[in-house]
Amino acid sequence: MVEYRIDRRSGVATYLQIVQQTRQALRLGLLEPGDKLPTAREVVEATAVNPNTVLKAYRELEREGLVEARRGLGTFVRRSLGGAPADTPLHGELLEWATRARAAGLDREDTAALFAAVLEEKFPQPHAAPEQAVPQPQPPPERTLPQPQSVPHGTTTEGDPA
């Protein structure tokens, strides 16, 4: 089960932090297809964020095809990401490279900068246009709970033979 950590000062939107942490868990093989994500209730109880934020994150993950909501059961992982589980040979090679970098006298920051430069070269990020400044106020998102677990308010049980 993944546990989300919300960093309030990171400047990254809360729902995006949940999305990123889920992707990270998929990438590292901490979550595999068939695994169940925590329910919105569990996430908000631990993080004290708004339920809609969690649902928004889950919808985003669903849109990306990473997870699927099964009615009444929960949200499940559909596929893994990146094919870079922790025990891939690439991991070993990267480890070896890092060892060599250290032996060459690079410190942590130098190594990270070097890695980031290579990353930028090989995976150029299509710079996301800054959030457009003139959106129309959208209708607020509906809160659809993935799994109504309890009897809703106002439901009577008068006719119950028990």
Partner 1 sequence: MTDTAIEAADLTLAYGRRREPALRGCSFRLATGRVCALVGPNGAGKSTLLALAAGLLRPTSGRLAVLGTTPAAARPRVAYVAQDKPLHPGLSVAETLRLGAELNAGSWDAALAAQVAADGELDPGARVRSLSGGQRTRLALALALGKRAELLLLDEPMADLDPLARNRLMGTLMAEAAEHGTTVVMSSHIIGELADACDHLLLVSGGRVRLGGGIDDLVHAHALVTGTGRVADLARHTVVESRATGRGLTALIRTDGPVDPAWDVEEPSLEELLLAHLRAPDAPALITPGTTPTRAVAA
Question: Can you give the binding site for partner 1, defined by CB under 8 A?
Answer: 6, 8, 14, 39-42, 44-54, 130-131, 133-135, 137-140, 143, 145, 149-150, 152-154
Please state the closest distance from residue 10 (CB atom) to partner 1, in A. Answer: 12
Sequence-separated (6 or more) residues with CB below 8 Å from residue 9: none
Identify any residues that bridge with 36 across adjacent strands, giving them in sequence order: 76
Closest distance of CB 149 from partner 1, Å: 6
d(CA 139, CA 143): 12
Instruction: Compare residues 8 and 127 and give the one whose CB is closer to partner 1.
Output: 8
- The type of residue at 54 is V
Give whichever of 125 and 138 is closer to partner 1, judged by the CB atom.
Answer: 138
Q: How far is the CB of 64 from partner 1 (least distance, A)?
A: 20
Find out whether 151 and 74 touch, Cβ atoms under 8 Å: no
**Residue 152 CB-half CA count within 13 A:** 4
Nearer to partner 1 by C-beta: 27 or 42? 42
Phi then psi for residue 56, to 5 deg, are -65, -45
Q: Which is nearer to partner 1, 48 or 103 (CB)?
A: 48
